[in-house]
Structure 1
Amino acid sequence: MSLSEQSAPVVGPDDGTVPADRRRVGRLPSLTGLRFPAAFLVFVFHASLPFPEIRLLADDGAAHKYNQVVGQIGALGVTFFFVLSGFVLTWSARDGDSATSFWRRRFVKIMPNYVVAWILAMVLYVGAKATLFQSLGSLFMLQVWTPYFTSHLPVNPPSWSLAVEAVFYLAFPLIYLGVRRIPAQRLKFWIIGAIVAVAATPLITTLLVPAGPEVMAHADGTSPIHYWFAYILPIPRLLDFGLGILVARAVMLGRWRDIGMLWSGLLVAASYVVCFFVPYLYGLRVVFLVPAVMLTAAAAIADNEGRFTLFRNRAMVWLGEISFAFYMVHYIVLAFTRKLLGPDLFSTPAGFAIIAGQAVLTLLVSWALYAGVERPITRRWSVSRRKTAAARM
């Protein structure tokens, strides 16, 4: 299977020709820079959880308020990542690239960090607490296919989203070729349809999926099975990824109305306020979707047109480059440092100071993982030796 554009003609709106691809740049540094704030949002969320293995703050009013305020901020970061993934993969797709080459690059990019993080989690804090089923399920990215809460968040809890991304990567060559066949003037209908489908997912979940007897604490009494189906299960989340692909195509073909990064950022902030006033399953994903799309497209357009953004400077791009490693190790740092500190809880000022230190330590560990594992392995193994030798001839 090839990702070649020639196999999927797109009819233009007026004269029946293929609209010009408006990409002027290959890399999108602002989107790279935006990856770190998204990963940091997930860190902030996990640092607030009341789980004994990571909890630091004593149960006072300030700590309770903090936990409430950041209670869904991790879901915002994850939704942004899923949309971003579809957008960037589509933007960077090139003629003649095969599905196997694409899968190789994704495997080499993702798996080394994933496996190293799994080993660190098992050694530093999980130990015998996870069953063999949970441990192997997490290692082989199968944890997202079970509705049981303790099974899809074992060992290194953030890794569930990488298991979902693995499904995205397997499906991308086929989805991309399908999207390439959509006439440019019809892209907006597909985009609207994807948004409506995401918005309908919580309703479909509550109407058709058996809830079971258990409920999740601090989640509006939501069933963990409903949470799994609407938020964790890869099939519904393919809609987020597919929307990123559709929007990238619309931007590339000049079929997107850009509102700019400022207004997009304000829309993201407003969506976070809204999430507290809607049912839990809607607040996890639905309200963030359109703002995440608008911000992703705005950043790409700004880069493509050479306009200034806050996320394109060297520091933000560097942080973005290590953001995957940061995402993979942050929970491990939270859990291991909590283990070293002992069982005592801390006052809010002391707890926040420790969390700040955990963030710095996570940054250092992720830098080491990026420099020592991710970057050298990606450079060495992303392209087969045969292709490398052919390119040098």
Structure 2
Amino acid sequence: MPMNGTGTSRPARAPRLDSLTGLRFPAALLVFFFHASLGVPWIRLFQEDSANDALAKYASQAGALGVTFFFVLSGFVLTWSARDQDTMRAFWRRRFVKIYPNYVITWALALVTFAAVMTKPWQAVVNLLMLQVWVPDFATNFSVDPPSWSLGAEAVFYLSFPVLFLLIKKIAPARLKYWIAGVVAAVLLTPTLTYAVIENTGMQMPGADGTSTVQYWFAYVLPPVRLLDFALGILVARAVMAGRWRNIGMTWSALLLAVSYAVAMYVPHLYGQRSVTLIPIVLLIAAVASRDAEGKPTPFKNRFMIWLGEISFAFYLLHYIVLAYSRSLLGDQLFSTPVGIALIAGQIVATVLLSWALYAWVEAPITRRFSSSRKARAAKAARAGAAVPAGASPEAEGRTLETV
């Protein structure tokens, strides 16, 4: 079934969004700092409580911001790079080949290095199948490699994208603003609905007075709820491409995001996690994409930042493993603040290097070789009137925009 539907036609090749690729690494780094701030024994480095408390306070919303950024970005870039005459099967194949090999390798690595002693066998299996997000249990949601929960949600997004894309493509450009406003409102009201409908009983979220783990699961983890973020990315991409987006620019978007982050630290937990930073995230993604489309420079559009963006998916999956395993190698000793900061910097460097290896030796080769079928490559060669090298794929022609 073709995914192009009957909507407005698009250019044969949309402008590359290299700046958005580069921006992925700072988003992944935010998630790193959130996990580095956890005071659990298998992560904590600082001896002084004041240092731990400061890091925990200022990084408290970093993980949520990074995850929301990636969810909205996924919908945006998949829409931007959607191919006319693409099929559901071809799309799902590319997504599976891009995501699952890294996922399985880091799943196994997490079990070997730290997670086996704290993971029940059934949780490990559920996690391997990316089904951990459907269980209203905190330990299961964040079992094995804790950041991998978001890939369980992304799997649902990818399964839904062909249908969502066709439906959203039928919306008249002049009406996109109403749909965007409606989805934004739905996300902003998610915490209110959660607190009103789901009783605050049972296990409580650490450091979040008045929020249970079940409330957190419903508002923050459950894929149908987070599908709103993904759908918002699709709608905003359509608006930008149709010239129906009012761009406030990168500077104002970034300033608004910084202010909203500060506010998020002082509101009830679910509002900080889901609502406060959403609009600035959307504005920043659209502003950066608009500059790329216009061919204008950005701080993220250089070879180094693009490279970091390319390895950011591996970085996202590996960073918690590095945090936990390096902590175990250091024994029970806690460290002064300067030494702890140096160790965190070393953990970042180690994660970058391991991510580079995972990207270069696993992600990129597998994507090049298996992202399209042999039949599809032969058909493309016939259309082009030239032979296709063995293992060639759409990604071999340049970096794909279909990123996580």
Q: What TM-score results when the alignment is normalised by the length of structure 2? A: 0.92
Residue of structure 2 equivalent to 1:289:
278
Q: Is the 8 A contact 2:14 2:80 kept in 1?
A: no
Q: Is the 8 A contact 2:39 2:52 kept in 1?
A: no
State the 1:389 CA deviation: 1.7
Letter in 2 for 1:76: L
Question: Structure 1 pair 221/208, CA: closer, same or farther in 2 (3 Å)?
Answer: closer
Residue of structure 1 equivalent to 2:216:
227
Moved more, 270-279 or 180-189: 270-279
Q: Is the 8 A contact 2:180 2:235 kept in 1?
A: yes
Q: Is the 8 A contact 1:30 1:311 kept in 2?
A: yes
Letter in 2 for 1:129: M
Q: Is the 8 A contact 1:22 1:253 kept in 2?
A: no
- Does residue 47 (structure 1) correspond to residue 36 (structure 2)? The answer is yes
Residue of structure 2 equivalent to 1:262:
251
- Does residue 364 (structure 1) correspond to residue 362 (structure 2)? The answer is no
Q: Is the 8 A contact 2:14 2:81 kept in 1?
A: no
Residue of structure 2 equivalent to 1:67:
56
Question: Take 1:256 and 1:30, find their aligned partners in 2: how far apart are those partners?
Answer: 18
State the 1:277 CA deviation: 2.4
For 1:210, what is the secondary structure of its paired residue?
coil
Question: Structure 1 pair 25/177, CA: closer, same or farther in 2 (3 Å)?
Answer: closer
**1:151 aligned to which of 135, 140, 145:** 140
Residue of structure 1 equivalent to 2:101:
112
- Does residue 169 (structure 1) correspond to residue 158 (structure 2)? The answer is yes
**1:329 aligned to which of 318, 332, 335:** 318
CA-atom RMSD, angstroms? 1.3
Residue of structure 2 equivalent to 1:380:
369
Q: Is the 8 A contact 2:256 2:280 kept in 1?
A: yes
Residue of structure 1 equivalent to 2:392:
none
Note the 1:311-322 alignment, pairs <5 A. 311-322=300-311
For 2:277, what is the secondary structure of its paired residue?
helix
- Does residue 346 (structure 1) correspond to residue 344 (structure 2)? The answer is no
Note the 1:152-231 alignment, pairs <5 A. 152-231=141-220
Task: Write out per-residue CA displacement over residues 23-54 of structure 1, whole angstroms, 9 at most, x where no aligned residue.
Answer: 97442100000000000000011011011111
Q: Is the 8 A contact 1:138 1:154 kept in 2?
A: yes
State the 1:304 CA deviation: 0.5
Question: Take 1:355 and 1:57, find their aligned partners in 2: how far apart are those partners?
Answer: 10
Note the 1:301-312 alignment, pairs <5 A. 301-312=290-301
For 2:144, what is the secondary structure of its paired residue?
coil
- Does residue 128 (structure 1) correspond to residue 117 (structure 2)? The answer is yes
Question: Take 1:134 and 1:53, find their aligned partners in 2: how far apart are those partners?
Answer: 20
Residue of structure 1 equivalent to 2:22:
33
Question: Take 1:123 and 1:62, find their aligned partners in 2: how far apart are those partners?
Answer: 30
Q: Which runs of 5+ in 1 are unaligned?
A: 10-17
Moved more, 52-61 or 278-287: 52-61
Question: Structure 1 pair 23/278, CA: closer, same or farther in 2 (3 Å)?
Answer: farther
- Does residue 8 (structure 1) correspond to residue 14 (structure 2)? The answer is no
Question: Take 1:384 and 1:59, find their aligned partners in 2: how far apart are those partners?
Answer: 56
Question: Take 1:205 and 1:364, find their aligned partners in 2: how far apart are those partners?
Answer: 40
Residue of structure 2 equivalent to 1:91:
80
Task: Write out per-residue CA displacement over residues 261-294 of structure 1, whole angstroms, 9 at most, x where no aligned residue.
Answer: 1111111111101102221100002111111100
For 1:93, what is the secondary structure of its paired residue?
coil
Question: Take 1:112 and 1:203, find their aligned partners in 2: how far apart are those partners?
Answer: 38
Question: Take 1:62 and 1:156, find their aligned partners in 2: how far apart are those partners?
Answer: 26
Percent identity between matched residues is: 58
Question: Take 1:8 and 1:263, find their aligned partners in 2: how far apart are those partners?
Answer: 36
Task: Write out per-residue CA displacement over residues 295-319 of structure 1, whole angstroms, 9 at most, x where no aligned residue.
Answer: 1101111000001101011100000
Question: Structure 1 pair 240/64, CA: closer, same or farther in 2 (3 Å)?
Answer: same
State the 1:22 CA deviation: 7.6
Residue of structure 2 equivalent to 1:277:
266
Letter in 2 for 1:221: G
Q: What TM-score results when the alignment is normalised by the length of structure 1? A: 0.95
Question: Structure 1 pair 297/356, CA: closer, same or farther in 2 (3 Å)?
Answer: same
Q: Is the 8 A contact 1:75 1:285 kept in 2?
A: yes
For 1:277, what is the secondary structure of its paired residue?
coil
Question: Take 1:72 and 1:256, find their aligned partners in 2: how far apart are those partners?
Answer: 28
Residue of structure 2 equivalent to 1:15:
none
Q: Is the 8 A contact 1:22 1:254 kept in 2?
A: no
Letter in 2 for 1:61: S
Question: Take 1:73 and 1:324, find their aligned partners in 2: how far apart are those partners?
Answer: 17
Q: Is the 8 A contact 1:191 1:246 kept in 2?
A: yes
Question: Take 2:54 and 2:300, find their aligned partners in 1: how far apart are those partners?
Answer: 30
State the 1:81 CA deviation: 0.4
State the 1:214 CA deviation: 2.1
Q: Which runs of 5+ in 2 are unaligned?
A: 383-404
Task: Write out per-residue CA displacement over residues 77-121 of structure 1, whole angstroms, 9 at most, x where no aligned residue.
Answer: 111000000000000002100011000000000001000000110
Question: Take 1:363 and 1:93, find their aligned partners in 2: how far apart are those partners?
Answer: 30
For 1:8, what is the secondary structure of its paired residue?
coil
